[in-house]
Amino acid sequence: MATFMPGSQTLRVAASTVASLLQQSILTASRNTLTSCCPQRVQRSVINTACFHSTSKCHLYRNTEFEDEKPKKLGKVNLVPPNWLKYNDVVYPPTEPGEPERPAEICHSRFQIKYGTKKMWYLAQMIRGMTIDEAIKQLAFHKKKGAAHIKETLEEAQEIAVAEHNVEFKSNLWICDSFVTKGIVVKGMRRHARQRYGLIHYRYTNYFVRLREGRPPKDYYPPEKTGNDLMADYIKKQRARRIMYGM
């Protein structure tokens, strides 16, 4: 028995050494795992530099959608007009004595109307140059469904003109600008026979309008030139010619 005691003690010491090394390696691996999974636990030193009138580099609320505000974008698509309504905030200098009074202008819009852009374009260009009452009357009797959306938008703009822009008579307005733009396009699927599927596009439209105070002009678009006008332009062009290397 005495001959085997030193060997058994050596084995015990070696086993305890291996166990301690394994325990240290397990602790080191667990610490590395926690550091990689939870980087917020690592303390980082932030050096405060002199930064006058600027946002901190560690700002957490930049580009954040708050719950009390309506979302302004859906991905890369605007849900509200980013620049069109800024025309309402423009302040012009006062007019000089003897100059005509500047008419009030009201910009309004409606975004993401469930209607085709090409169909809405016909209605938007139809009412250009009309008075506000005549435009609402024409849209009320139109057969296209998009006329109801434009009619409601004009009525909203008329109320805004009286309430916020100090327009005295709500009927003393005319359509200065009226146009549409393409909105979002939602894609859907339709099931067909024999396990086939088709793609559906649900198209939306944005409508913009600008009202101007006063009476509309006689011709909204430039009128077609008559024969006398064309002849006068031709004579003017011929008289403006320059003969190269002449007297």
Average pLDDT rounded to a whole number, residues 230-246: 91
3-class secondary-structure state, position 46: coil
Average pLDDT rounded to a whole number, residues 190-208: 94
The per-residue pLDDT for range 136-184, each reduced to its tens digit, is: 999 999 999 999 999 999 999 999 999 999 999 999 999 999 999 999 8
Tokens of 103: 């008419």
Give me the long-range contacts of 135-142 (CB less than 8 A, separation at least 24): 135/175
User: What residue ranges do the domains of the chain occupy?
Assistant: 73-90+103-213
Most confident of 20-34, 74-88, 212-226: 212-226
Question: Of 210, 207, 224, 219, nearest to 122 (Cα)?
Answer: 207
Q: Which fold has domain 73-90+103-213?
A: Ribosomal Protein L22; Chain A (3.90.470)
